[in-house]
Amino acid sequence: MNDLRYYEVAYILDPQLEDEQQTAIIQRFSDLVTDRGGSVDHIDRWERRRLAFDIKGRREGYYVFMNVTTDRATEAEVDRLLGLAEGVIRHMIVRRKQPMVVPPAEEVPSAAAGVPVEAAAAGQAQAPEAPAAEEAATSVESIAPEPDLATGTEPRAEITSHPTPAEPAVIAAEAQAFAETPTNLAEEATPAAEA
């Protein structure tokens, strides 16, 4: 185990496999890497997806992505066994120069707000009002322009202009003029050399 490398292992599982069978295949390859001194950094298991084209007569499959750190010999063995494994309809292993950075899993909104998940699911408790929302409302009010009391008019928002049907002709003329200007330095230098 001299030379550890980072790999992303992607494979598609047969859609006819039961959930337990899928878990067993994923565990088998995870154990293979860890038993040989490597580490499984992250496993991302997707739900059933439609394939872009038929693979081994299948139109759907379950995608699995594993980020592993292991040596070359273990990677070769995983590659060989994935090719032979029943239930794996396609696989690919990519060597990465750096480990894959996996963002942390998103938290459940009700748990992040301090409300127990059971209470939020039952609808018994309401999430406490966020002070950030109050601050945002006051900051918008403080920067909004005041109405003109002398004339009784409200200030209007600025309107940005978008191209009108007449403007494309101007744009086309500018593009033509730009195309006619010399872009090659040799073209610019030729008239000066003759003088």
At 34-48, the pLDDT tens digits run 999 999 999 999 999
Give residue-wise pLDDT tens across range 52-79.
Answer: 999 999 999 999 999 999 999 999 999 9
C-beta of residue 28 within 8 angstroms of C-beta of residue 78: no
Alpha helices in the chain (DSSP H): 19-35, 72-84, 109-112, 117-122, 131-143, 167-180, 185-194
Structural domain 5-96, CATH architecture = 2-Layer Sandwich (3.30)
Q: Among 90-94, 132-136, 146-150, whose mean pLDDT is lowest? A: 132-136
The structural domains of the chain, with segments of one domain joined by +, span 5-96
Would you say the C-alpha torsion 159, 164, 168, 174 has a positive or negative sign?
Answer: negative
CA distances for 143 relative to 7, 32, 92, 139, 146, angstroms: 51, 61, 54, 7, 9
- Other C-beta atoms closer than 10 Å to the C-beta of 121 total 12
What pLDDT is attached to residue 7? 95
